[in-house]
Amino acid sequence: MEMPQPNPEILMRKNTVLARLRQVLPSDAIIHDEAETRAYECDALTAYKCPPMLAVLPSNTQEVSDVLRICHQEGVPVVPRGAGTSLAGGALPTADCVILGVARMNEVLETDYDNRFIRVQTGRTNLSVTGAVEAEDFFYAPDPSSQLACAIAGNIAMNSGGAHCLKYGVTTNNLLGVTMVMMDGSVVEFGGAFLDAGGLDLLGLICGSEGQLGVVTEATLRILRKPEGARPVLMGFSDNEVAGQCVSDIIKSGILPVAIEFMDRLCIEACENFAKAGYPECESLLIVEVEGSEAEIDSQLSKIMEIAKRHDPVELRQSQSEDESARIWLGRKSAFGAMGQINDYMCLDGTIPVSSLPYVLRRIGELSEEYGLDVGNVFHAGDGNMHPLILFDANKPGDLEKCEAFGAEILKLCVDAGGCLTGEHGVGIEKRDLMTHQYSPQDLEAQMQVKDVFDPSWLLNPAKVFPLSVSESRREAQIAAE
Amino acid sequence: MKPETEAELAEIVSRLKEPVRIVGGGTGGILEPDAELSTTGLSGITLYEPGALTLVAQAGTPVAQIEKQLAAEGQHLAFEPADYRELLSTTGEPTIGGVVAANVSGPRRIQSGACRDFLLGVRFVDGQGMVIKNGGRVMKNVTGYDLVKLMAGSWGTLGVLSEVSLKVLPKPETTATLSIQTNDLDLAIQAMSKALRSPFEVSGAAYDPEQGQVYLRIEGFSESVDYRSEKLRVELAEFGDISDNSNSEALWTEIRDANTFGGMEGDVWRISVKPSDAPQIVAKLAARKTLLDWGGGLIWALVPSGADIRARLDRFQGHATLVRANLDTFDSLGRFQSENAAISALTKGIRKKFDPRGIFNPGMMG
């Protein structure tokens, strides 16, 4: 993946920038040694690495503001970083950038159960937001598989989803307000502990903008009361298409499960070895979860199982205990790690209309044979968000390139089927050059105009989201202006 | 002007010399400027997949037509688009484009989300006649910036919507409404908060001070509704007698449409606040009549014509929108609350990019 050449002018001024940053940050919040900046050279898309010029770890909004003001004045690009779990290279540095990590900003600022919100610093991890309200039986709904590690800052930047968003929505549906520092250092409040402020929905625009419009330091999040209980049911089928039809029938029946997850044979076996969840041996597996009281769960599951029976399942089994439910979910949420034990893999994230599921799965199978690379499929079936995992050998010359070409074909297939390139991981650098397949030049221009307004100098997280050739004139205008 | 295709719409916009008001069914009562660009020629459901919970429709499609088609499959628009004809004394047929442009959301906002939360994709024509699409027709999509949210609630000031795609949901099998009698607003808010803090999935929480009634809505399969209603009665016993309301559907339609203010003299405001702030806000309003929705987070208020509510509330946490008034009052107070300098600069910057000639609904949003 091509990245722009670092600006030698900026690299020459490293010591000047460092000296200015030292005036506003404690010394332990600045990383400048070449051996230590290496810790920030990549995120979870480990195929691409580039150590930044400097990294800073501010502790509050004021420090973030100081850092951005200085970088803005010095014309230095800034790459914001949450926990570095992006699968799309969203936090990949450029050699001439300052990495701004929010990891030290992890305080809970306010919890309000009567009004059902929590305000946190955005370095706080997703799961620890729920941890902060669990004693009152509340939770924060978006649940990306990386929730133990990933930060709210990254969740907001990528508009992260998770397994349970069929019912609860993704980050943008659970975000009430943010404190954001603009590239020039000014601090702006968007939204708050009330719903749907008038005026343009800038909060909705900021969520999912991949750290290119500003650095979000504090967030007001909607918290929900936990349901009385939840229970998954496992459904095994001998055919992917039949499983897809079953998903569609469940949704049409009027029942809205909180989650409908799909795995194919390769993933089922890998996850079973990893989590011992008791997954059946079959071609495709659905995990369908419903919530409520015991009686409500019984009644919903009986309706769902009635539908499943019409599709001749090879296995149909409700979880019998909380422990079993936990293992069923552990298996699903460990899918990426489990596949990683088989080989190197590339994880895709396209979304398709649920109705196209059988066709797209069949076509992925054909492509797998053409490319000679195995593919495992695991995805959020209720909302059509697919995660094909392409297995390859990073040590074998040419395999990564072949894998990337295969991945690109799958993503184009998703778009052509009426879907999109990315459902929850974001564009980052990974899908940047495919954007022209989904969007026309005018569509991309409209999006870039938004960045022009928020970050006219194009210094925030540059070289992401938009194809380099498309954003080139804007990025170069900035360099020329210096 | 009433284009019948998106291409024709783009052509018309690119040739516009004067500002226009963009009109769907005309039920919003927007009267300025004189020249009108109607979307009603762009009508029809383009795609409906019940098994994928998605519907795509042209912007001028009547909401009633969409609701009818959804009902045939046991589905609905869960954000409950309101019908403000009675409130605003307007006629015409509400369109889906109008609903999206104003981000109109009803009582279920607190549980299911707003119109913007159900909007999956848009196609629109910008101020220079360019056709732009964003989002799509799938539920999870983070490809590029979310201009879909930006367009929802932008009141036509960034572009003319030509097509929208929406997530739809199964329509609940049964609805029950519990009523609690109280004339104390503090108690009413506390009761609604307690209900919304429970795990029993309350999908509507409103208070009518005139009737002295708190209304709590529970929806779903009938045995589940019975169970949760019973649990809520126990949970809320401290607030006094709880009765069943037999007329759920009509009741929530009235709350959704705020039609109780229809034909009454005075201005109508819609104020979004933190629910626990509602009692002190209502006290400051000194309104002739109020209605609270969203567990207290939404206050409808009727005040004497021309009264400046924002001055009365003085820098409160929230947002006050003028919904119904005469033209002079709209001109002097503005429909929307003015924003701080930073947000105002961003808003103006975005509008300048999307509508550089300032031809769409000028004066509507700052």
Q: Name every residue whose Cβ is closer than 8 Å to that of residue B142 and which is 6 or more positions away in sequence.
A: A158, A159, A170, A208, A422, A423, A424, A425, A426, A427
The phi, psi pair for A81, rounded to 5°, reads -140, 130
Same domain, A112 and A221: yes
CATH code of the domain in which A432 resides = 3.30.70.2740
For A247, nearest residue in chain B (alpha carbons): B51
In a domain, A443, yes or no: no
The phi, psi pair for B123, rounded to 5°, reads -125, 135
**Separation between Cα atoms, residue B220 and residue A374, nearest integer Å:** 43
* pLDDT value, residue B366: 65
Q: Name every residue whose Cβ is closer than 8 Å to that of residue B205 and which is 6 or more positions away in sequence.
A: B107, B110, B192, B195, B196, B214, B215, B216, B217, B293, B294, B295, B296
User: Is residue B147 a contact partner of residue B32, using CB atoms and an 8 Å limit?
Assistant: no
B143 vs A422, A442, A453: nearest CB: A422
pLDDT band at A331 (very low <50, low <70, confident <90, very high): confident
Of the candidates A155, A77, A191, A141, the one whose C-alpha atom is nearest the C-alpha of residue A461 is: A77
Q: Average pLDDT, stretch A69-74?
A: 98
For A112, nearest residue in chain B (alpha carbons): B276
User: Is residue A447 a contact partner of residue B143, using CB atoms and an 8 Å limit?
Assistant: no
A to B CB pairs, distance under 8 Å: 257
What are the counts of helices (DSSP H) followed by strands (DSSP E) for chain A? 18, 18
The phi, psi pair for A177, rounded to 5°, reads -170, 160
Mean of the per-residue pLDDT values of chain A = 94
Whether pLDDT at A336 is above 90: no
User: Is residue A206 a contact partner of residue A156, using CB atoms and an 8 Å limit?
Assistant: yes
* Maximum Cα interatomic distance, chain B, rounded to a whole number of Å: 65
Q: Where among A180, A198, A225 does a domain terminate?
A: A225
CA B330 to chain A, closest CA, distance in angstroms equals 15
CA A313 to chain B, closest CA, distance in angstroms equals 20
Give start-end residues of each CATH 3.30.70.920 domain in chain B: 174-257
In a domain, A297, yes or no: yes
* pLDDT value, residue A482: 57
Tell me if A351 and B339 make a contact (CB, 8 A cut-off).
no
Return the sign of the alpha-carbon dihedral for residues A416, A417, A418, A421.
negative
For B170, nearest residue in chain A (alpha carbons): A254
A196 interaction partners in chain B (CB closer than 8 Å): 103, 105, 109, 114, 116, 153, 272, 319
User: Is residue A243 a contact partner of residue A284, using CB atoms and an 8 Å limit?
Assistant: yes
CATH code of the domain in which A288 resides = 3.30.70.3450
The amino acid present at A127, given as its one-letter code, is L
> DSSP label at A5?
P
**Separation between Cα atoms, residue A441 and residue A10, nearest integer Å:** 31
* pLDDT value, residue B271: 97
**Separation between Cα atoms, residue B223 and residue B231, nearest integer Å:** 12
B132 vs A112, A419, A446: nearest CB: A446
Same domain, A118 and A220: yes
**Separation between Cα atoms, residue A151 and residue A174, nearest integer Å:** 15
Of the candidates A470, A475, A424, A477, the one whose C-alpha atom is nearest the C-alpha of residue A164 is: A424
Q: Select the more confidently predicted residue: A381 or A14.
A: A14
CATH code of the domain in which A213 resides = 3.30.465.10
Q: Average pLDDT, stretch B205-231?
A: 96
User: Is residue A190 a contact partner of residue A202, using CB atoms and an 8 Å limit?
Assistant: yes
Pick the CATH number of B6-170 from 3.10.520.10, 3.40.720.10, 3.50.30.30, 3.30.465.10: 3.30.465.10
Q: What is the 3-state secondary structure (H, E, C) of chain B?
A: CCCCCHHHHHHHHHHCCCCEEEECCCCCCCCCCCCEEECCCCCCEEEEEHHHCEEEEECCCEHHHHHHHHHHCCEECCCCCCCCHHHHCCCCCCEHHHHHHCCCCCHHHHCCCCHHHHEEEEEEECCCCCEEEEECCCCCCCCCCCHHHHHCCCCCCCCEEEEEEEECEECCCEEEEEEEECCCHHHHHHHHHHHHHCCCCEEEEEEECCCCEEEEEEEECHHHHHHHHHHHHHHCHHHCCEEEECCHHHHHHHHHHCHHHCCCCCEEEEEEECHHHHHHHHHHHCCCEEEEEHHHCEEEEEECCCCCHHHHHCCCCEEEEEEECCHHHHHHHCCCCCCCHHHHHHHHHHHHHHCCCCCECCCCCC
In a domain, A274, yes or no: yes
Please tell me if residue A139 touches chain B, with a CB cutoff of 8 Å.
no
Tell me if A296 and B224 make a contact (CB, 8 A cut-off).
yes
B152 interaction partners in chain A (CB closer than 8 Å): 201, 204
* pLDDT value, residue B127: 97
A292 interaction partners in chain B (CB closer than 8 Å): 224
Percentage of chain A with pLDDT > 90? Answer: 83
pLDDT band at A133 (very low <50, low <70, confident <90, very high): very high
Q: Which two tokens stand for residue A294?
A: 């015991």
Q: Name every residue whose Cβ is closer than 8 Å to that of residue A320 and which is 6 or more positions away in sequence.
A: none
In a domain, A316, yes or no: yes
Q: Which of A136, A156, A182, A194 to mutate to test the interface with B (most CBs of B within 10 A)?
A: A194
DSSP-H helix ranges across A239-351: 240-252, 265-275, 294-309, 322-333, 335-340
Tell me if B152 and A453 make a contact (CB, 8 A cut-off).
no
Same domain, A204 and A162: yes
B343 interaction partners in chain A (CB closer than 8 Å): 188, 190, 199, 202
Please tell me if residue A384 touches chain B, with a CB cutoff of 8 Å.
yes
CA B22 to chain A, closest CA, distance in angstroms equals 17
Whether pLDDT at A443 is above 70: yes
Tell me if A423 and B298 make a contact (CB, 8 A cut-off).
no
Q: Where among A282, A313, A336 does a domain terminate?
A: A336
Q: Name every residue whose Cβ is closer than 8 Å to that of residue B187 and which is 6 or more positions away in sequence.
A: B239
In A311-410 the beta strands, taken as DSSP E runs, fall at 315-318, 344-347, 375-380, 385-392
Mean of the per-residue pLDDT values of chain B = 96
**For B295-329, what is each residue's pLDDT tens digit?**
999 999 999 999 999 999 988 999 999 999 999 99
B169 interaction partners in chain A (CB closer than 8 Å): 256
Percentage of chain B with pLDDT > 70? Answer: 100
Q: Which two tokens stand for residue B27?
A: 């039920």
Residue in the block written with tokens 């039809």: A245
**For B223-235, what is each residue's pLDDT tens digit?**
999 999 999 999 9
Q: Which of A86, A138, A196, A474 to mutate to test the interface with B (most CBs of B within 10 A)?
A: A196
pLDDT band at A248 (very low <50, low <70, confident <90, very high): confident
Tell me if A192 and B49 make a contact (CB, 8 A cut-off).
no
Q: Select the more confidently predicted residue: B355 or A276.
A: B355
Number of separate domains in chain A: 3
For B52, nearest residue in chain A (alpha carbons): A354
Angle at A72 between CA A70 and CA A74, to 5 degrees: 70
Q: Average pLDDT, stretch A292-304?
A: 93
In a domain, A448, yes or no: no
A420 interaction partners in chain B (CB closer than 8 Å): 136, 138, 141, 143
Q: Does domain B174-257 have CATH number 3.30.70.920?
A: yes
Residue in the block written with tokens 């003319």: B160
Tell me if B153 and A200 make a contact (CB, 8 A cut-off).
yes
- Three-state secondary-structure class, residue A49: coil
* pLDDT value, residue A182: 98
**For B68-100, what is each residue's pLDDT tens digit?**
999 999 999 999 999 999 999 999 999 999 999
**For A358-370, what is each residue's pLDDT tens digit?**
889 999 999 999 9
Of the candidates A128, A119, A125, the one whose C-alpha atom is nearest the C-alpha of residue A61 is: A119
Q: Is A11 exposed, middle or buried (0-12, 13-18, 19+ CB in 10 A)?
A: exposed
Same domain, A115 and A203: yes
Tell me if B337 and A208 make a contact (CB, 8 A cut-off).
no
B138 interaction partners in chain A (CB closer than 8 Å): 351-353, 383-385, 418-420, 423
Percentage of chain A with pLDDT > 70? Answer: 99
Chain A, residues 145-164, CB within 8 A of chain B, namely 158-159, 161
Percentage of chain B with pLDDT > 90? Answer: 95
Tell me if A422 and B110 make a contact (CB, 8 A cut-off).
no
From the CB of residue A459, how many other CB atoms can be counted at a distance below 10 Å? 23
**Separation between Cα atoms, residue A42 and residue A92, nearest integer Å:** 5
Give start-end residues of each CATH 3.30.465.10 domain in chain B: 6-170
How many alpha carbons lie under 13 Å from residue A306 in its C-beta half-sphere? 8
Q: Which two tokens stand for residue A482?
A: 């210096």
User: Is residue B185 a contact partner of residue B282, using CB atoms and an 8 Å limit?
Assistant: yes
- Three-state secondary-structure class, residue A442: helix
Same domain, A113 and A219: yes
In a domain, A2, yes or no: no
Pick the CATH number of B259-333 from 3.40.50, 2.60.220, 1.10.287, 3.30.70: 3.30.70
User: Is residue B337 a contact partner of residue B319, using CB atoms and an 8 Å limit?
Assistant: yes
Please tell me if residue A453 touches chain B, with a CB cutoff of 8 Å.
yes
B50 interaction partners in chain A (CB closer than 8 Å): 251-252
A201 vs B116, B227, B366: nearest CB: B116
Same domain, A221 and A236: no
Same domain, A401 and A347: yes
A208 vs B142, B158, B366: nearest CB: B142
In a domain, A180, yes or no: yes
Whether pLDDT at A59 is above 60: yes
Tell me if B193 and A114 make a contact (CB, 8 A cut-off).
yes
The amino acid present at A368, given as its one-letter code, is S
B227 vs A190, A295, A453: nearest CB: A295
* pLDDT value, residue A481: 64
For A212, nearest residue in chain B (alpha carbons): B145
CA A470 to chain B, closest CA, distance in angstroms equals 13
Q: Which two tokens stand for residue A104?
A: 């030290």
Same domain, A115 and A189: yes
**Separation between Cα atoms, residue B23 and residue B101, nearest integer Å:** 10
The phi, psi pair for B148, rounded to 5°, reads -60, -50
Tell me if B353 and A450 make a contact (CB, 8 A cut-off).
yes
* pLDDT value, residue A338: 85
Residue in the block written with tokens 């609701």: B67
Of the given ranges (A58-72, A322-336, B336-350), which has the lowest mean pLDDT?
A322-336
Tell me if A420 and B343 make a contact (CB, 8 A cut-off).
no
* pLDDT value, residue A480: 67
Whether pLDDT at A304 is above 60: yes
> DSSP label at A461?
S
Q: What distances in angstroms separate CA B298 from CA A244, A289, B24, B189, B301, one per listed residue? A: 41, 33, 26, 11, 10
A350 interaction partners in chain B (CB closer than 8 Å): none
Tell me if A453 and B350 make a contact (CB, 8 A cut-off).
yes
A141 interaction partners in chain B (CB closer than 8 Å): none
**Separation between Cα atoms, residue A378 and residue A375, nearest integer Å:** 10
Q: What distances in angstroms separate CA A465 from CA A183, A460, B173, one per listed residue? A: 18, 12, 43
Domain containing residue A368: 343-437
* pLDDT value, residue A256: 87
Q: Select the more confidently predicted residue: B252 or A273.
A: B252
B276 vs A115, A255, A380: nearest CB: A115
Of the given ranges (A304-318, A323-337, B164-178), which has the lowest mean pLDDT?
A323-337
**Separation between Cα atoms, residue B170 and residue A327, nearest integer Å:** 30
Same domain, A364 and A287: no
In a domain, A6, yes or no: no
b/e map of B345-366 (b: 16 or more CB within 10 Å)? Answer: ebbebbbebbbeeebbbbebbb
Q: What distances in angstroms separate CA A221 from CA A64, B35, B293, one per listed residue? A: 21, 43, 21
**Separation between Cα atoms, residue B125 and residue B11, nearest integer Å:** 10
Q: Where among A311, A336, A361 does a domain terminate?
A: A336
pLDDT band at A5 (very low <50, low <70, confident <90, very high): very high
Whether pLDDT at A343 is above 90: no
Whether pLDDT at A479 is above 70: no
**Separation between Cα atoms, residue A235 and residue A419, nearest integer Å:** 26
Whether pLDDT at A91 is above 70: yes
